[in-house]
């Protein structure tokens, strides 16, 4: 079974669980940024994948599976709009191309929640991220840790969504190609649950070296307090609300 998973810190417990699964789960892991994980299952390179939720309605032949996800109730910390200016003074926002969910989320918030009009630009080179009046940068993933000290204004997108809707925000969820063996999906679910229950061990082992350069205590705290791995009823409702807002829009962004 080919499993595509996100190559970010928030997936380390899932990867640990897959590595320590019993013999019922035999999986080849394909690690990549979120947008590429979606492409892997879209192109048939993966049987199961953890993908940005904005991609799910547009990929034929897949189904949402299991009870695990990457979500956050209030502050996620690694999906942030950075700026040297308050929201009312931002005129340009650069978008991280690594996740279609995050770039669509920030635009929904800008138009419906914050009610600001800005120019949207793709972020081609991350070395271009620098403090500049009136400019914002939507960044995702582990690289966010390196920018936290540079910008006085930091708008956490999960927190903004929760304050607006009262719901946790789901960034990525597990999907499988139709026809995937139910016993394979069940084995994966057991592996994911095992990994989530062993976060300190997952960080300590990290065979992928995703955590390289990230303080161990920071990593464990982030995974224990900023990330919520359970895909429950209310998170499914949050996904439905997000999808409905995307369907109503005429500007859906595909950063890839």
Confidence band for 256, pLDDT divided at 50, 70 and 90 = very low
Of 172, 201, 230, give the one whose Cα is nearest residue 4. Answer: 172
CATH fold of 79-165, please?
A: D-Maltodextrin-Binding Protein; domain 2 (3.40.190)
Size (the chain), residues? 256
Domain spanning 2-72+168-248 has what CATH number? 3.40.190.10
The string of pLDDT tens digits covering residues 42-71 is 999 999 999 999 999 999 999 999 999 999
| Cβ-based neighbours of 246, under 8 Å, separated by 6 or more | 54, 57, 104, 108, 252
The string of pLDDT tens digits covering residues 127-156 is 889 999 999 999 999 999 999 999 999 999
Q: What are the start and end residues of each CATH 3.40.190.10 domain in the chain?
A: 2-72+168-248, 79-165
Lowest mean pLDDT among 110-124, 170-184, 201-215: 201-215
Span 147-169, mean pLDDT? 96
Helical residues (DSSP H) of the chain, grouped into ranges: 12-19, 34-42, 100-108, 157-165, 182-196, 199-205, 216-221, 233-248
Which tokens in the block code for residue 29? 């892991």
pLDDT higher than threshold 60 for residue 238: yes
Q: pTM of the predicted model, to two decimals?
A: 0.92
The string of pLDDT tens digits covering residues 20-40 is 877 566 778 899 989 899 999
């Amino acid at each position: 079974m080919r499993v595509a998973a996100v190559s970010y810190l928030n997936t380390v417990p899932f990867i640990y669980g897959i590595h320590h699964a019993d013999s019922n789960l035999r999986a080849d892991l394909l690690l990549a940024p979120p947008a590429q994980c979606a492409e892997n299952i879209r192109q048939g390179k993966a049987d199961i994948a953890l993908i940005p939720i904005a991609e799910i309605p547009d990929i034929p032949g897949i189904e949402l599976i299991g009870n695990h996800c990457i979500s956050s109730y209030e502050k996620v910390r690694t999906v942030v709009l950075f700026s040297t200016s308050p929201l009312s003074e931002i005129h340009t926002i650069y978008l991280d191309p690594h996740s279609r969910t995050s770039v669509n989320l920030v635009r929904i918030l800008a138009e419906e929640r914050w009610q600001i009009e800005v120019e949207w630009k793709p972020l081609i080179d991350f070395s271009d991220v620098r403090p500049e009046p009136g400019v914002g940068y939507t960044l995702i993933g582990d690289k966010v840790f390196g920018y936290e000290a540079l910008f006085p204004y930091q708008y956490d997108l999960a927190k903004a969504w929760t304050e607006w809707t009262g719901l946790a925000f789901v960034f990525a969820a597990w999907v499988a190609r139709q026809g995937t063996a139910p016993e394979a999906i069940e084995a994966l679910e057991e592996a994911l649950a095992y990994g989530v229950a062993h976060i300190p061990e997952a960080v300590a082992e990290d065979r992928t070296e995703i955590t390289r350069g990230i303080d161990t205590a920071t990593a464990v705290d982030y995974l224990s307090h900023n990330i919520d791995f359970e895909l429950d009823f209310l998170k499914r409702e949050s996904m439905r609300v997000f999808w409905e807002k995307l369907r109503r829009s005429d500007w859906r962004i595909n950063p890839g």
